[in-house]
A and B are shown apart, each in its own frame.
Chain A
């Protein structure tokens, strides 16, 4: 267990209200934190990164939104666009601001809004500084894919580097690379090729050394040498060359960074920065439902315990219940506003359900979950789930018939060849497994990331880059966007680009997009 250094306020001072009324001050926040920490570590056994709580205004919250919660970021117009969008929505009352934002870093930074009441501050601390924090620290995906201790330094480096590039090469030149790299950032992630941990600190060091080396060996004379001498060497060894290039490659940004022939070193570095940050954010959507469920369950548990221990009064506890039930509200499919699942609702329902299965199992639970039903260790089971699963596998493993019934889930079969939609599973004995499988598939990264690979480069000819998109049942790429994105890709690659959409089963080409080199 982490020994957290807390500022003053002894935990021994138990009993008695932590505060009353709505107003908070820094002492109240400290006292609440200590009381919450006591419950979180003693009773729940949460392991967390050192916490840092920052109080911000609503205006600063808009800044935080813009940068995905990151405290520093490089400059780019797309952030301004996001900022203006949020700002408009907020000013016109279309959007409320979150009570809190927390980021996966070590120390773990939680932003609390100054407008929150004392109860909300306590709730938010329990939710973010303990719930999310524990999840960030323990979940496999985060442990394997991200390096929270260095991300803040890396972002600082990225901002500085890009600002220096802007000074040296001009805004326009930097923006060209950033625009293109942003368009490709979903294809800038290693998904399959090994879970190597990113060492961002070494990353920075490496970049610095490489730059220094390039500066030291720079000789303008080389520029005057004829260039095609090397090209002639390559003859019929296409396959060999492909292997050398590491094809096929799913990480387009990585490929460009390493192999694009016409990029300057600083341009490669910028591509690398975009790639690193995309990689850092890569796990988040895959565990969103669990992460929110975990944090919500933790704050509900802690706030209930605080109330039981007499540390918060009835009024405060009612506020907790009110706010929580707002958050975990799941509108029905016909309630308007889309029919998607509320990750808080589903996550919280599943966490509560696991506790129920562990402590008061029914016959049905014993049949469905023989290994955990009635094991009496609800918190241990939850901690195990939080650490080892992602949304897809979590649903596959733990979605119980009871939750399916509670949500009154049903499955529609949408076949565009038919004039109707078919209800092919509902919450009954025959439908549970179908619904569970389909729902899990929604959270499968394979369904929300597009599988695109670089398969070949025409090394002997005009260097055209060949890509392949393996489609899933009738889901082709959106044509307009694809064209624009390929233009960006071609501008980085420097030569033509062709993208074939191929049916995954039969291998027939369904559509072809291409873009010529710019300039």
Chain B
């Protein structure tokens, strides 16, 4: 007999098969994933998610019989009260009486109704954002500057202390000390102790004196060697060497602008946040190098961090141009359009101080749009204050959108619409024509 311990064997033998299932049921799983997102919150989404898909897409048909009519005999166990000739009520169809005759009942065609997957976060988001892309990202890819990324490239004799390779250095130091016979400090100490001992002896015999003489000489050599052969010599030093490898980078920045003024109800803010969360997860997922700038505004605008953007409550009046101005300033200072792909997403209820709308429109048309790749504006509708239809902001934006392809404007009224609009804005079709 052999005993083989298989436990250390590579795991995940079925990963490939599992992947193929996902592939096969892809469209069904994708629908399920998107439903899950539409129903739930995005943050919760994407961590250990179970989705159910109808099993049609994974059904394995075979030729098998079903009992439909006629006579059959069933042997059962556990008889307590029946005797021959008893007549029993027929159980409601399908409920009982099946399962006799192996493989004959129980699998009436469809098999299980649905099939549950537990997806990893990556799988989930991959399916979720499949075929979405930042529009026109390719455009400036070639012209982007190249970033240097340090990469390990062997060792060198010199370098910054922080790059010191301690292990290698000490190995060389030990080898050199052994080779040159550097005495151990303990050895010197021993000799010195013995000398002190002998010196303390009174009267000293001739032998002792002779030993003392010898020891003193030895002490001299030891001290000399210790001083001459250093513990760590510059020749021991080894440093990790890094070479800067040029790496082309697509540099992109996304400005997220959100109206948090008083006219935005909690529900509307929630919708806007939902949109930006989606955008955020999407960007994080797709583009490792995308910078994101969060700007929120009421009557004045400020740049905030992610956390404040999504979680800090704030209210006030509305001056949209303040946000656009801030965005424009930041863009000019930090993200010159020669080197950066620039994207802007703005969410608002379309409410704006009426004196400001003109200024907003000119700012957008003359300063911002020429500099950016893509500008998406979503308007949260259904506010009580504004009658459904066209707000001032919407009207002026639409006029600009008619002239500029890279300004996209959409209205969103309900959580369910968030994802379709999002898809609409970022689906690959936008630039598939030129690709």
Contacts and interface: CB of A to CB of B under 8 A. Distances in A.
Nearest to B83: A426
Nearest to A7: B1
Contacts of B231: none
A438 B98 CA distance: 16
B23 interface: yes
Interface string B90-131: 100000111111111010111000011110000000000000
A452 B63 contact: yes
A186 interface: yes
Nearest to B71: A415
B104 A447 contact: yes
A6 B99 CA distance: 44
A62 B18 CA distance: 13
Contacts of A56: 6-7
A483 B61 CA distance: 9
B113 to A, nearest CB: 13
Contact of A419 (B1, B90, B106): B90
A407 B16 CA distance: 46
B17 A75 contact: yes
Interface in B1-60: 1-7, 9, 11, 13-14, 16-24, 58-60
B85 A53 contact: no
Given A7-B2, A54-B6, A77-B23, A478 B108 contact: yes
A473 B109 CA distance: 19
Contact of B1 (A50, A78, A333, A414): A50
A246 B170 CA distance: 81
Given A338-B106, A474-B71, A478-B65, A408 B79 contact: yes
Interface in B353-372: none
Interface stretch (A79-87, A142-150, A359-367): A79-87
Contacts of A428: 84
Interface string B312-355: 00000000000000000000000000000000000000000000
Interface string A14-56: 0000000000001001100100010000000000001111111
Contacts of A7: 1-3
Contact of B79 (A83, A420, A427, A480): A427
Interface residues of B, number: 69
Contacts of A441: 73
Interface string A440-470: 0111000110101000000000000000010
B72 A409 contact: no
Given A66-B14, A339-B96, A412 B74 contact: yes
A424 interface: yes
Given A338-B106, A408-B79, A426-B79, A473 B84 contact: no
Given A182-B60, A409-B76, A55 B3 contact: yes
A447 B6 contact: no
A76 B14 CA distance: 10
B179 interface: no
Nearest to A445: B102
A187 B63 CA distance: 8
A416 interface: yes
A423 B88 contact: yes
B85 A91 contact: no
A85 B55 CA distance: 11
Contacts of A54: 3-6
B80 A408 contact: yes
B185 interface: no
A332 interface: yes
Given A56-B7, A474-B70, A80 B20 contact: yes
Contact of B11 (A5, A59, A413, A442): A59
Contact of B78 (A51, A62, A63, A331): A331
A341 B19 CA distance: 37
Contacts of A84: 18, 21, 115-117
Nearest to A252: B63
Contacts of B205: none
Query: Which residue, B5, B75, B82, B84, has most C-beta atoms of chain A within 10 A?
Result: B75
A412 B88 contact: yes
Contacts of A419: 90
B153 interface: no
Given A339-B100, A435-B75, A421 B87 contact: yes
A512 interface: no
A168 B89 CA distance: 61
Interface residues of A, number: 106
B3 A482 contact: no
Nearest to A289: B102
B84 A85 contact: no
Contacts, number: 273
A478 B109 contact: yes
B120 to A, nearest CB: 13
Nearest to A33: B1
Nearest to B87: A420
Contacts of B68: 416, 474-476
Given A29-B3, A414-B72, A471 B65 contact: yes
Contacts of B67: 474-475
A448 B103 contact: yes
B77 interface: yes
A334 B78 contact: yes
Contacts of B178: none
A422 B65 contact: no
A473 B71 contact: yes
B66 interface: yes
Interface string A397-422: 00000000001111111111101111
A83 B18 contact: yes
Contacts of B16: 75, 80
A154 interface: no
Given A56-B6, A60-B11, A81 B75 contact: no
Nearest to B116: A88
A376 B82 CA distance: 37
Given A52-B4, A83-B14, A474-B71, A430 B77 contact: no
B4 A481 contact: no
B76 A480 contact: no
Contacts of A339: 74, 76-77, 96-97, 99-100
Interface string A321-339: 0000000001111110011
A477 interface: yes
B85 A51 contact: no
A428 B83 CA distance: 9
Contacts of B109: 478-481
Contact of B82 (A50, A81, A410, A471): A410
B14 A447 contact: no
Nearest to B17: A80
Contact of A30 (B3, B65, B71): B3
Query: Which residue, B13, B14, B23, has most C-beta atoms of chain A within 10 A?
Result: B14
A388 B98 CA distance: 31
B104 A332 contact: no
B86 interface: yes
A358 to B, nearest CB: 25
B61 to A, nearest CB: 4
B62 interface: yes
Contacts of A185: 62
Given A333-B78, A415-B70, A421-B89, 5 more contacts: A53-B1, A79-B17, A91-B118, A447-B101, A474-B67
18 contacts: A4-B1, A37-B1, A66-B17, A75-B20, A183-B60, A183-B61, A330-B77, A333-B79, A340-B99, A340-B100, A414-B73, A428-B84, A430-B84, A442-B75, A447-B104, A450-B65, A478-B65, A482-B63
- What are the nearest 8 A-B pairs in CB distance? A332-B78, A474-B70, A80-B17, A338-B99, A484-B61, A80-B21, A333-B76, A77-B20
Interface of A: 4-7, 26, 29-30, 33, 37, 50-57, 59-60, 62-63, 66, 75-81, 83-85, 87-88, 91, 107, 111, 114, 129, 182-187, 285, 330-335, 338-341, 407-417, 419-428, 430-431, 435, 438-439, 441-443, 447-448, 450, 452, 469, 471-485, 488
